[in-house]
Structure 1
Amino acid sequence: MSDEVVTPGQAPRAVGVRAPWEAVPAGLRAAVEGHLDARIVAAETQLGGFSPGVAARLRLAGGRRAFVKAVSAAQNPDSPRIHRSEARVARALPSQVPAPRLLADFDRDGWVVLLFEDIEGRTPAQPWRPAELARVMSVVGDLAAVLTPSPVDVPPVTESHAGSFHNWRDIAAAHAAGTDDLAGLDPWAVGHLGALAELEAGWAAGAAGDTLAHGDLRADNLLLTPDGRVVVVDWPWASRAARWFDLLLMLPSVRMQGGPPPQQLFDAHEVAAGADPDAVTAVLAAFAGYLLGSARLPAPPGLPTLRPFQAAQGVAALEWLRSRTGG
């Protein structure tokens, strides 16, 4: 593939509101230095991603580098649990997985701190460039090969996503009860709400599998290194799922950010070979419902940019779903 830019999309940026390194209490910063056995001489906040906590590249005395993630319930009540989950997965990932190595993690004074090796790299260009997208699609295949069967004890996707993949059924029930006027929903979704709720109900059986899925593959969770590697960061949502689960969840964001139609990429990819079409459609319906239903809710504490990002992905996912169902 050439390196020319693909069709641009008008996508919201995956940028949250990060707390600066200086927001970490002094005693906690000293503890980080203790774990790294070096004095921190500079910290550069990284803006990508949605966590409201600290995410910073640290430069240490002597020239070494590290990456720190730190959060407390004051930034978002759910974030400490998410960081602890990420640490559990990161500790257990096999060395063949292209992910940053976890150096240390600890809880102190209400904060959860994770220290990783610092990766020299950048996120993929937006809109997507074909050559970079090809690199990433290749890594999606590599991950499925290395991570099947799952080498890490994580929940099955039927458990990890049970609280998320029910929005069409919830919306339909609320509409039937007269408590949801469907304001803001796509007209096609409104006209097919019953069918969408029925499709969504089959997602759990469709998504089941024994591949360790990242669960949140997007451009802002990928680093392209100067030596040609693709490094996958942020693993708190890992679960056991179908080999194609990560690919399916990633493709609406690719489309949103100027990439090719999802169906084109999905059908051509090795991890989708032999996938049950009905299972794929059910999971896609559930994911589209999750995105579009979540986008109608108020922003979570500390994450003011999340809902527009979900809405834009939802538009792409629904477009794909319509093409699969002949809508």
Structure 2
Amino acid sequence: MVTTRIPLEDLPLAALAAVERQTGPVVRTETVSQGFNSEIATRVFTDSGSCFVKGLRADHKRAWTQRREAEVNPFLRGIAPGLLWQVDEAGWVLLGFENLEGRHADYSAGSPDLPKVAGLLRRLGEVACPEVELRQAEQRLEAYAARPSDLEHFAGRSLLHTDLNDHNVIVDDSAYLVDWAWATRGAAWLDAAYWVVWLMAAGRHEPESAERWARTVPAWSVAPADGITAFAQATANVWEEIAGDNPDDWTARMLDAARHWATFRKSA
């Protein structure tokens, strides 16, 4: 479900004051249009620097994702922008992160960003999953797997991002993953598998090309073929539900990519 975006200036005065105690007086702001998980998503500029602020109302049903993102951030140095501060004030949960100066990744075939994203997933694969409360991959996919036995393929002890949307990858000389709202514990190869669908949807890759990039991530080599096929079908089922009867263009593109991959896996 898409969350309505509001400007930082629309926060209660007490919440704005709490932010400025962290940042100093705000000179200007830039509301970010991309992303679906936060009501506040704003670049904040002061005389001494900048940061990125995201937040949700404390009574929002997904407010727990803000707190979870804060918990995993210390383990993601060099992979995600660092968490600078957090505020819980006037009914809002707000997080302040380093403001990355890069751009969104280009997933198109032949893009120079693709090796950077592959390197990012390799670095993530080296991170030990922290002992914090996380959703389990097999739990999240339980309603979408074709068979209950498929869920065994998705279980594991690795820290996963699970939303490899090109807008969640910021690139400059390197690449960084933002928006850890859906951090999950599961099989090490799953983020490479999530990337396959996004490569097909955002970069117009065919399944063979997308899977070639997935194979550059070491964890993919331990993924069972049956597990990949089961994941592809579960992902198609996820997007069937999201799309409903009248999907917008973006959702329809994701559904088409997921269906295409699932069909390819069944015939491979």
> Do the two structures share a fold, i.e. TM-score over 0.5?
yes
1:22 is aligned to 9
Cα distance in structure 1, aligned partners of 2:149 and 2:261: 18
Cα distance in structure 2, aligned partners of 1:266 and 1:232: 17
2:120 is the counterpart of 1:139:
yes
With normalisation by structure 1, the TM-score equals: 0.73
Q: Write the mapping of 1:89-108 to structure 2, written as runs, cut at 5 A.
A: 89-90=72-73, 92-95=74-77, 97-108=78-89
**Deviations, residues 280-310 of structure 1 (Å, cap 9, x unaligned):** 1112221221111122179xxxxxxx96534
Secondary structure (helix, strand or coil) at the match of 1:257 reads helix
Cα distance in structure 1, aligned partners of 2:181 and 2:37: 12
Q: Partner amino acid for 2:16?
A: R
Consecutive unaligned residues in structure 1, runs of 5 or more: 1-14, 169-196, 299-305
With normalisation by structure 2, the TM-score equals: 0.88
From the superposition, tell whether residues 93 and 286 of structure 1 become closer, same or farther in structure 2 (CA, over 3 Å): same
2:20 is the counterpart of 1:43:
no
2:263 is aligned to 322
From the superposition, tell whether residues 156 and 54 of structure 1 become closer, same or farther in structure 2 (CA, over 3 Å): closer
How many residues are aligned here? Answer: 264
From the superposition, tell whether residues 103 and 73 of structure 1 become closer, same or farther in structure 2 (CA, over 3 Å): closer
The alpha carbon displacement at 1:258 in A equals 2.1
Q: Partner amino acid for 1:68?
A: V
Q: Write the mapping of 1:193-208 to structure 2, written as runs, cut at 5 A.
A: 197-198=146-147, 201-208=148-155
Q: Partner amino acid for 2:116?
A: R
2:129 is aligned to 150
Match of 2:233 among 254, 263, 285: 285
**Deviations, residues 153-212 of structure 1 (Å, cap 9, x unaligned):** 243524651xx54147xxxxxxxxxxxxxxxxxxxxxxxxxxxx33xx333200111211
Which stretches of structure 1, 4 residues or longer, exceed 6 Å deviation after superposition? none
**Deviations, residues 226-278 of structure 1 (Å, cap 9, x unaligned):** xx111111112112211110111122112111242233333454221132111
Question: Structure with the greater relative contact order (CA < 8 A, sep ≥ 6): 1 or 2?
Answer: 1
2:46 is the counterpart of 1:64:
no
Q: Greater strand share, 1 or 2? A: 2
1:54 is aligned to 40
The alpha carbon displacement at 1:17 in A equals 4.9
2:195 is aligned to 250
- Contact 1:154 / 1:240 at 8 angstroms: preserved in 2? no
The alpha carbon displacement at 1:112 in A equals 1.0
Consecutive unaligned residues in structure 2, runs of 5 or more: none
